[in-house]
Amino acid sequence: MNKRKQISNRGENIGALLRRYLGQRTVLGVAIPVLAAHIEAAQKKRAFTGLTESQIATGFREVTSRFIRSDYHSTYIDRRLGSRGFLDLSGNRYKIRAALLDGVSTGDLEQLHNDLLSSLLTAYEERQAVIRKLEDACSLPKESIDERHALVGAYLSQLTGNRGEMFEVVSFAVLREYFRTFGFSLQRFSTTHANDGGMDFVGGEDIYQVTTDESMQKVRKDLAKAPGTKRVLVRPTVNSAFAELSKDDVLETIELSDLLNHFISWLLARDTRSKQARHLQEVLMTALTEFQRENRAETQEILTGT
């Protein structure tokens, strides 16, 4: 985060800060239990002493169980500490930084709590819609090549929403199928505990790191993962500063234009020649599997309780 961004954050309150993370379950899975405890203390007119990590972990699992399942990890708290985050640690207890609560009423906190839960519901429903659309596309006749091609291209170019999960999942699906045709295998894994839709994958001895975040801070963070291991970076675009920074550590960079104009075009050409959407079907099936992997539908009313 650059200096200008740090300065701009000083005037934020907790509402403005947390609304930057709408729909992001691993951030909000930590924030919501702490926020709910702050609200409860304010309603009872008593000082809030904070929650232990164990209490936050329990709240995290309760919140995410009602939406899309996420496993808790302590790094989710560590990332939110200090002046750049929203948590303070005192002893073994965590609470919202006092400066972020200045001028914020209990009513404001209650509205924020509801908005955060609603954003997780929206993200959940959007995931269900993606799954249904992929299921429908996978059920098309084998000769429906153009329809599959259009959906792959549209999804791959969708760079916003839930930290670019769509780009990450579909780029993996495209590259996995492309290299499979030549006898190579890409497997999904993560070099760190991924935040929301974040994913990496591995082929041979190399790590493929994928993100839609174009900041230099993110580039440096990615390059710090698995030191000494060569990697291929997958991202929408590459600027000259990024290319200079990573030239000694990166075997190659795959951009969105490469995915659209080379990898997908090659798969499309083979399907067109055979008159069957064999490769594009595999891309869609892989994407569908990835979206279903962490998805768990719940029958209960999602917004009931805290």
Rounded CA-CA distance 167/75 in Å is: 24
Query: Model confidence over 57-89: pLDDT tens digits?
Result: 999 999 988 876 677 888 889 889 988 799 999
- pLDDT exceeds cutoff 90 at 19: yes
The answer to whether 207 and 225 have CB atoms below 8 angstroms apart is yes
Residues 225-284 have pLDDT tens digits of: 666 777 787 888 877 766 666 566 777 888 899 999 999 999 999 999 999 999 999 999
200 closest CA partner among 225, 217, 236: 225
Q: Count the helix, strand and coil residues of the chain and give each as a percent rounded to the nearest 5.
A: 55, 10, 35
pLDDT at 243: 63
Is residue 198 pLDDT above 60, yes or no? no
Confidence check: pLDDT of 135 > 90? yes
The confidence score (pLDDT) of residue 214 equals 66
What pLDDT score was predicted for residue 72?
Answer: 86
- State the chain's mean pLDDT as an integer: 82
Contact status, residue 61 vs residue 33, Cβ threshold 8 Å? no
Give the Cα-Cα-Cα angle 130, 135, 139 (nearest 5 degrees).
Answer: 150
